[in-house]
Chain A
Amino acid sequence: MDPLFVTALSLSLQVALVASLILLLLGIPLAWTLAFRRFPGKAILEAIFLLPLVLPPTVLGFYVLLFLGPEGPWHKVTGLSWAFRFEGLVFASVLFSLPFALTAYREAFLALDRNLLEVARTLGAPKPKVWAKVVLPLVWPGLLSGTLLAFAHTLGEFGVVLMVGGSIPGKTQMVSIYIYDLVQALRFEEASKAALVLLFLSLAFLVAARTLEAKGRAWKSIT
C-alpha cells in the first residue's frame, strides 16, 4: 500500500480520535443542559450548534481560517498559529462534528427515566454516584454511538479540512484530500482503492453506531 495513504489515513484517525474525545468531554454537559435546562435564547443556541449541518463546508472552513489565521483573533489572544496545522484540523473537526455528537447525546439523555434519578436522589445518593450508577449505565450506548458518528464524520470530512488544512502530506493531508489529490493526478486506480477503504470504514462505523443505538433502546425498554 502507498505509504502516503497510510500516513493520510493515520492523520485522519488521529484527528478524528482527538476531536471525538474533546466532543465527548464538551458534548455531555452541553447536551445535558440542552436536554433539561430552560433558559432564554436556548433555541438560538441550539440553532448555532446545529449550524454546521447545513452550512456549506467552505463557509465554515473560511470562518475557521479567518479565526485561526495569522491576523485572526485566536492568534491575537493566544499567540498560537493553528491554521494549516494538526491543532487547526482538530478545532475545525470539533465544530463540524458537534451536531452529530450533540444530537445523539441529547436523545440518550431525553430517553432517561427521570423517576430513576429522583429515586436515587431521595435515597440519598450523592451526585457523582447517581452519574456512575444510574446515568452512565443507561446512556452509554447513546454516548458511544454519538461519538462514533462524530468520529466517522470527521474521518470523511473534505471541504472544511481542505480550507483549514490544505494538503501537506504527513501534516495536514487527510485521507479524503489524499483521494482528491490522486484523482487530480489522474491516478484513478489508486484513488478507487483508497476510496474503497474509506467506504468500508464508514460503513463499519455506521453499523456500530446503529447497533449501539438499538442496544440503548433495548435497555430502556427493560428498565
Chain B
Amino acid sequence: MRKSLVVLAAVLGISAWAQETVQVVAAADLQYALKEVAQAFEAKNPAIRVSLSFGSSGKFYTQLTQGLEADIFFSAEKIYPQLLEEKGLAEPNTRKPYAIGRMVIWLDRSLGLKPSPEALKDPRITRLAIANPVHAPYGRAAVTLLEHLGLLKRRPDVSIPGLKKPFASLSWEEIPWEELTRGVEAYWDASPLRQGKPSFEFVYGENISHTAQLALTATKAGILALSLAVHESLSKPGVYWLSPLGSHLTLEQDYVILKGRKRPEVMAFYRFVESPEARATFKRYGFLLPGEKPE
C-alpha cells in the first residue's frame, strides 16, 4: 500500500519538476528533422529542455490566435508567421526562413510501379492521400502540383464570394485556401483519365504526418513531404518521385518567436536552428536551405 502510494505520488508529481523549457509548436513535416535538432541542442545545453508538438501549420495558427501558449512556431509556409506578426502575436523582427520544403509522390512498393507522376494513372490507385489543403500547406502544395501535372483541372464555373477575379484565373498564391472548405473535388475536376471518370478520390490527412500514415496504411499512394519520405518508416515500404521546385506552391518555411516569449533559453534554441549543425540536419532530411539553389 505504502509503496503504491509512493509510486502514485511520483507519477502525479513528475510533471512538476522545473527545468528551463522551450515550448515549440511545429509543422508536421519537421517530425523527424526538428526532433534531431532539438536533441543536438539539448546535448549541448543540458539545462534546457525543448518540448516539441507537431501538427498542421494552419491548425497551430488558429490555436495560437485562440490562446495556445508556445515560445516558437515553425510553420511549413510563411503565410502563418506573417499573419501572426500582423496580428501583433509575434515578436517583431524574429520571423525568419529556416528551410524550403520539398514534396514527393509516394507509392507503396507492393504496387511495383516506377515512381513518376504517370504512376498515378494506374487503375489500382483509386485513392490518393493528401494533407487537408484548408489548413495544411503541404495539402495546398499537393493540389497545385496535381494541377501542374495535368491531373487536376479547375472547374471554370466556381465562384467564391468576395473574390473579384474568377477562380480559374487565380495564381497559386492567390487561391483563398481557407475558403475552400468543401474539399478539393468541389473546385477542381480530376482530369478525365479514364473515360470521363475521375481517376482517384482524395483522402485528406489532418496534417502531413497523418497523411503519411494514411498513405502507408490505407491508400498506398500519397503526396508527402520529402522530409518524411526519406525516413525508414516510409522509405522501406515505399518509393517516391521528387517533384521539382516550381511545379507547386513553394513551401518557404518560416519560424517566429511568439509575443512576450523572448527568454534567454528561447533565444538560444532560436539561434541554434541557424547553426551549421542544425542546417546540416535539415539538409539531410531533404530540405533546401534558405538562399540555396537546388542542384
A residues engaging B (CB < 8 A)?
Answer: 6-7, 9-11, 13-14, 17, 65, 69-70, 81, 83-85, 166-171, 173, 181, 183-187
* B168 at interface by CB-CB < 8 Å: no
Q: Most chain-B CB neighbours within 10 Å: which of A13, A14, A170? A: A170
Whether the Cβ atoms of A166 and B68 lie closer than 8 Å is yes
Give the shortest distance, in Å, between B6 (CB) and chain A (any CB).
14
Asked if B266 is an interface residue, CB under 8 A from chain A, the answer is: no
Residues of chain A within 8 A of B67, CB atoms compared? 69-70, 81, 83-84
Q: How far is the CA of A173 from the CA of B25 in the complex (A)?
A: 13
Sorted from nearest, which 8 A-B pairs have the closest CB atoms?
Answer: A186-B233, A84-B68, A83-B67, A184-B209, A70-B67, A69-B66, A169-B51, A184-B210
B247 to chain A, nearest CB (A): 26
Q: What CA separation (Å) do A187 and B54 show in the bound complex?
A: 14
B15 adjacent to chain A (CB < 8 Å): yes
Please determine whether A84 and B69 come into contact, CB atoms closer than 8 angstroms. yes
Residues A169 and B12 in contact, CB atoms below 8 Å apart: no
Pairwise interchain contact A186-B51, C-beta atoms closer than 8 A: no
Q: How far is the CB of B205 from chain A (nearest CB, A)?
A: 9
Q: Which residues of the other chain, A, contact B21 by a CB distance below 8 angstroms? A: 170
Q: A9-B11, A10-B15 are in contact. Are A65 and B66 (CB under 8 A)?
A: yes
Cross-chain contact B213 with A17 (CB below 8 angstroms): no
A167 and B31 CA atoms in complex are apart in Å by: 14
Q: Quick one: closest A residue to B207, CB to CB?
A: A184
B99 in the interface (beta carbon within 8 A): no
B residues 203-220 near A (Cβ < 8 Å) are 206-207, 209-210, 212-213, 216
| Bound complex: CA A171 to CA B52 (Å) | 11
In the complex, whether B82 has a CB less than 8 A from a CB of chain A is no
Q: Is the CB of B216 within 8 A of A186?
A: yes
* Minimum CB–CB distance for A74 against chain B, Å: 11
B55: interface (CB < 8 Å): yes
- List residues of chain B with CB within 8 A of the CB of A186: 209, 212-213, 216, 231, 233-234
- Contact A17 to B70, CB < 8 A, known contacts A169-B52, A170-B51: no
Listed A/B pairs (16) with beta-carbon separation below 8 Å = A7-B14, A9-B11, A10-B14, A10-B15, A11-B15, A13-B11, A17-B12, A70-B65, A83-B66, A168-B53, A169-B51, A170-B21, A184-B206, A184-B207, A184-B213, A186-B212
Whether, in the assembled complex, B28 has its beta carbon less than 8 Å from a beta carbon of chain A, the answer is yes
Known interface pairs A83-B66, A166-B68, A169-B51; A6-B14 also in contact (CB < 8 Å): yes
Closest to A168 in B: B53
* B23 interface contact, C-beta 8 A: yes
In the complex, chain B residues 172-224 whose Cβ is within 8 Å of any chain A Cβ: 206-207, 209-210, 212-213, 216
State the main secondary structure of chain A at its contact with B: loop
- B63 lies within 8 A of chain A by Cβ: yes
Q: How far is A170 from B233 in the complex, measured between Cα atoms in Å?
A: 26
Q: Hey, which chain B residues are within 8 Å of A181, CB to CB?
A: 54
Q: Are A84 and B53 neighbours in the complex by a CB distance under 8 Å? A: no
- Partner of A10 from the list B11, B31, B63 (CB cut-off 8 Å) is B11
Query: How far is it, in angstroms, between the C-alpha of A149 and the C-alpha of B54 when the chains are bound?
Result: 31
User: Residues of A contacting B206 with CB < 8 Å?
Assistant: 184
Q: Give chain A nearest CB distance to B51 CB in angstroms.
A: 5
Q: Are B213 and A167 in contact (CB under 8 A)?
A: no
Q: Are A166 and B53 in contact (CB under 8 A)?
A: yes
Mark each residue of chain B from 10 to 26: 1 if its CB lies under 8 Å from any CB of chain A, else 0. Answer: 01111100000101010
Task: Say whether B55 contacts A167, CB under 8 Å.
Answer: yes
Contact A185-B11, Cβ < 8 Å, known A69-B66, A84-B67:
no
Residues of A within 8 A of B233 (CB): 186-187
Closest Cβ of chain A: how far from B13's Cβ, in Å? 8
Q: How far apart are B2's CB and chain A's nearest CB, in angstroms?
A: 19
Distance in Å from the Cβ of B132 to the closest Cβ of chain A? 13
Complex-state Cα separation, A41 to B276, whole angstroms: 68
A6 to B207, CA, bound (A): 25
A99–B69 Cα distance when bound, in Å, is: 31
Chain A residues positioned under 8 Å from B231 (CB to CB): 186
CB distance from A57 to the nearest CB of B (A): 15
**Extra 17 A-B pairs, beta carbons < 8 Å, given A170-B51, A171-B23:** A6-B14, A7-B14, A10-B12, A13-B12, A70-B67, A81-B67, A83-B67, A84-B67, A166-B63, A166-B68, A168-B51, A168-B53, A168-B69, A169-B52, A184-B54, A184-B206, A186-B234
Chain A residues lying within 8 Å of B25, measured Cβ to Cβ, are: 168
Residues in chain A near residue B212, CB distance under 8 A? 186
Q: Is the CB of B53 within 8 A of A184?
A: no
Contact indicator A183/B213 (Cβ below 8 Å): yes
Interface centre among A6, A17, A69, A84 (most CB of B within 10 A): A84
Across the interface, which residues of B come within 8 angstroms of A170, CB to CB? 15, 21, 51
